[in-house]
Structure 1
Amino acid sequence: MIGWHDRGALRATGLCYATARRFCPPVDTPPSRVPVHATTWSPAAPQNIEPELNAALGVAVEEFHVCEEALHLSITLPEHPADTPRPVMVWIHGGSYVFGTADLPVFDTRPLALEGDVIVVGVNYRLGLLGFLGGEGRPANLGLLDLISALRWIHTNIAAFGGDPGNVTLFGHSAGGDAAAHLMIAEGAEGLFQRAIIQSAPLGIRRGRAKMNARMAAVAAEVTEDTPLDEVLRIQTRVIEAAQGFGLKSAMPFAPQYGHYPLPREQHAPAAWRRAAAAIDVLIGTTFEETALFLVLSPALSRLRRAPWLGQPLTGALVAATTRKIYRRDAADFARRHAKSDGRAFVYRFDWNQGRGPYGAAHTLELPLLLGEPQSWRDADIVKGVEESELHECGQRLRKLWADFARSGHLAQKGRIEKVIQWWRANE
């Protein structure tokens, strides 16, 4: 393995963990008999660009380099040797299962690896109709199967990097958190990880999706193995349009589907989570004002917010209600069920930035503290006006909390973190 040094860290980037023929399960990459050069960032899965979200996160279009035929991951660890194998943290990026990539500068895992003395692995996986739709005889959960393939690769190879394959923590945001939750009950993922940090997963819109998925699959049926990728992405836009009219779940039409390998039927999922509880520690939570992000990005809702007298109260009530329905209620229920099933579960609420700027403590607001460095987020609208010193100080505390949980499954005393995050233990 030929990697590279980066300011106190060792990197092995752009490692191919599987090949990905269109509409087929991933094929694990076999061991290499020649040195592998791991010195370039992982390419992204094919996706349509989302200009508004890129602006909110400070992401440039040039940062997306796409590859359909292979799947990649990147590894970051401290340069200095460790006396014992290091805990492993696996980053699953969000993006509504249609956009995003693990190796963006704003998602840089170097500070987390160095400060937490952990190994961090960022994983890319198939998105949109190529990863999470299926139909017409095609597998429905290819993106989830990709993640299981990556976990197999990590389990087999991470000891060579000084990592502990028996101490692996998934941490994912939004769709990435939803994926982490469903990997807990996915056939083939058993024993490949021991903890899950589920950040802002939209669990409240995960049920009753069969009719919507069927309509989407009908529109996507014209896509074949030979359809040019640009045309596939244009059709994906039409597939998303076909999903409208199914309520809040239309906001994230692509997602893992129950009743399709490797997931159980929807009615059997709660029992599967109960069976998994004793083997997996869980930290799950939300920001205080999750849906404020989407309010700001919506021109119509932004105009309503600026309306005299009732604009602020109405949109504030809308954010509170949708945050509770889509995110907070089901996160708390998930933790309670986990704790009652002999699992260890903690719930957090992320309050930082509440009351400041148009975003407040909105969806994605923990990411500038958890990943990247303050200068990485310089162009991000969500933290515009926040001093770099504040990002650094609060980020150090949040990264320590995440790394401590990954190391032991326990949390620090509340007094050390209460300015950044509030939490409670689900079985107390």
Structure 2
Amino acid sequence: MVATPYGAVRGRMESGIAVFRGIPYAAPPFGPRRFRPPQPPEPWDGVRDAGAFGPTPPKPPYSEAFAKLLADPVVPGDDCLNLNVWTPEPGRGARLPVLVWLHGGALTRGSAAVPVYDGRTFARDGVVFVSVNYRLGVEGYGLFPDTPANPGLRDQLAALHWVHASIAAFGGDPNRVTLCGQSAGAISIGALLAAPQAQGLVRRAVLQSGPPEAFDRDKVRRMVRRMATRLKVPATAAAFAEVDRELLLRTQADVGRLSSPVLGGPSFGLVVDGDLVPRDPLEALVEGDVARGVDLMMGWTKDEYRLWLVPGGLLERVDRLGGIALAGAMARCHCGHDVPRGYRALHPGAGAAEIVGQLVTDHLLRIPLQRLADARADSSYVYEFGWPSNLPGLGSCHALELGFVFDTGDVPESRKLAGEGAPQELADEMHAAWVRFVVEGDPGWRHWDASHPVRMFGTDGPSIEHGPRDAEIALWAADAARPDEPPTATSPGARGTEIRSVVRRLRLPGSVRRH
């Protein structure tokens, strides 16, 4: 039993680890609190049972194609702003390092209840592990004129404040907090590192396959307006709060069916709000003084794009489109013709889908993360995950590294993406690196410098490569230095036309559209 600021909670001992699930860090975000910033939970009398995962935030299910690969359990209930704690040594005085996990899922799916994110292995190795649920989709990232923006990010900030105030009672040190996340979780971390209200709450951060970024406000606003049109209500938080929750989720899934990193389209994301996100987070971290002294570890998988293109046969469709798909990628990435030409020269055996996928991955992910590493070189460490899944076509895809980082390859949900026979020695290496970074601030390889050292986690054992992506990234730098090309590749209208043309020609099956 542990006391929190709002009441006592009773956990469970599981294989020598004390586990507390479903602890509220904020009040249920419904009724008068819907679409509003989080509020503190109501204190409770007696002892609250913390033996089971709490409710998960409202979210649409994955499409059939993606559900075969990604687990996303649903726990019903309104009290969805909750977190979980795994600790080897509950009680004040232990002062152990703390890892706070923010899950991915494109800010529309995912939860802290995914079995791959079991914190037992980190607690086994002397780390107090905390995983957080936060609002998703329109509930967490809808942009309305009558409520503050980014309520989902505000949830995460509230959870961080809870950790700072409460984690000592669970054996953690509030001054040794590492914030770690993948995909949308990593994007959120970038914004939190740059947020004025979060300064001093984080000692270290791990960004896996997600860069600091802010979405264009019009892009997010279009999602809300399209939903409002379908629902026949005003595009306001007050009107959306009156809509049945399940209908809202179905409408969100339908309107966002073409949203993906490759295809673009309107989607939910963090926006600059002049308050919690006062400016673009990447620019704030690269150019400003925020989060100085925070150690950073960041990286990506070799074939991120394959999770976005392989399910439902989209990769084969892109290959068949060839030059049309490449034109769409140029429009998506705002680059000139020399960039895809350079990629073809560097990868002469690659098909159109691989070129498109790597173009988009570099533009959206690797280049921003390398910019951040360049700006924070003395305290940054970079990795690349390159082990290919045992499932056909997935390669080293987005999210595949998670079962290795958590050392949870033994759970069925990890095998959904990795297949059978994932190498335990690779999990030992990756998990040990993450633990070492949380404990010491040094994952075990040289920090970033002019030689661009990257720790490669793959099939050939431990290795360091210097500048493995430098040739591709140099193409973008050269492209940016050229005079603007004709508007066919760069103007907003042309970009929209190119992307819509590719989407029409892809004839996406329903299973992929709904993802």
What TM-score do you get using the length of structure 2 for normalisation? Answer: 0.72
Instruction: Tell me which amino acid in the other structure corresponds to 2:39.
Output: V
The corresponding residue for 2:50 is 38
Q: Does residue 7 of structure 1 match 2:15?
A: yes
The corresponding residue for 2:345 is none
Which structure: larger Rg?
Answer: 2
Q: Does residue 54 of structure 1 match 2:67?
A: yes
In structure 2, relative to structure 1, the CA distance for the partners of 1:246 and 1:30 (3 Å cut) is: closer
- Among residues 110, 119, 122, which one is paired with 1:112 in the alignment? 122
The corresponding residue for 1:198 is 207
Q: 1:394 deviation in Å?
A: 1.5
- Is the CA contact (8 Å cut-off) linking 2:386 and 2:396 kept in structure 1? yes
The corresponding residue for 2:24 is 16
Instruction: Tell me which amino acid in the other structure corresponds to 1:400.
Output: A
The corresponding residue for 1:345 is 380
Q: How does 1:252-267 map to 2 (within 5 A)?
A: 253-266=267-280
Deviations 1:38-85 (A, max 9, x none): 11112211000003332113x2x6x31133444100001225989841
CA distance in 1, matches of 2:209, 2:35: 29
- Is the CA contact (8 Å cut-off) linking 1:288 and 1:354 kept in structure 2? no
- Among residues 408, 412, 430, which one is paired with 1:373 in the alignment? 408
Q: 1:260 deviation in Å?
A: 4.5
Q: Count how many residue pairs are aligned between Structure 1 and Structure 2.
A: 410
- Among residues 326, 334, 337, which one is paired with 2:364 in the alignment? 326
In structure 2, relative to structure 1, the CA distance for the partners of 1:34 and 1:356 (3 Å cut) is: closer
- Is the CA contact (8 Å cut-off) linking 2:167 and 2:174 kept in structure 1? yes
Unaligned runs of 5+ in 2: 1-8, 234-238, 322-347, 447-452, 468-515
- Is the CA contact (8 Å cut-off) linking 1:107 and 1:372 kept in structure 2? no
Q: Secondary structure at the match of 1:212?
A: helix
Greater RCO (Cα-Cα under 8 Å, separation 6 or more) = 1
Q: How does 1:13-412 map to 2 (within 5 A)?
A: 13-19=21-27, 20=29, 21-29=33-41, 32-51=44-63, 52-57=65-70, 59=71, 63-78=73-88, 84-114=94-124, 116-201=125-210, 206=213, 209-221=216-228, 222=233, 223-240=239-256, 248-250=263-265, 253-266=267-280, 269-270=283-284, 274-303=288-317, 313-339=351-377, 344-353=379-388, 357-371=392-406, 373-377=408-412, 380-385=415-420, 387-388=421-422, 390=423, 392-412=424-444
Instruction: Tell me which amino acid in the other structure corresponds to 1:93.
Output: H
Q: 1:214 deviation in Å?
A: 2.5
Deviations 1:293-331 (A, max 9, x none): 111124232355599xx9962222222222212211111
Unaligned runs of 5+ in 1: none
Instruction: Tell me which amino acid in the other structure corresponds to 1:12.
Output: F
Q: 1:267 deviation in Å?
A: 9.0
Q: Secondary structure at the match of 2:147?
A: coil
- Is the CA contact (8 Å cut-off) linking 2:89 and 2:171 kept in structure 1? no
Report the identity percentage: 29
CA distance in 1, matches of 2:117, 2:190: 20
Deviations 1:200-242 (A, max 9, x none): 0055xx456122123223234534323211111122134425x
- Is the CA contact (8 Å cut-off) linking 1:345 and 1:425 kept in structure 2? no
What TM-score do you get using the length of structure 1 for normalisation? Answer: 0.86
- Is the CA contact (8 Å cut-off) linking 2:262 and 2:308 kept in structure 1? no
- Is the CA contact (8 Å cut-off) linking 2:102 and 2:180 kept in structure 1? yes
Q: Secondary structure at the match of 2:443?
A: coil
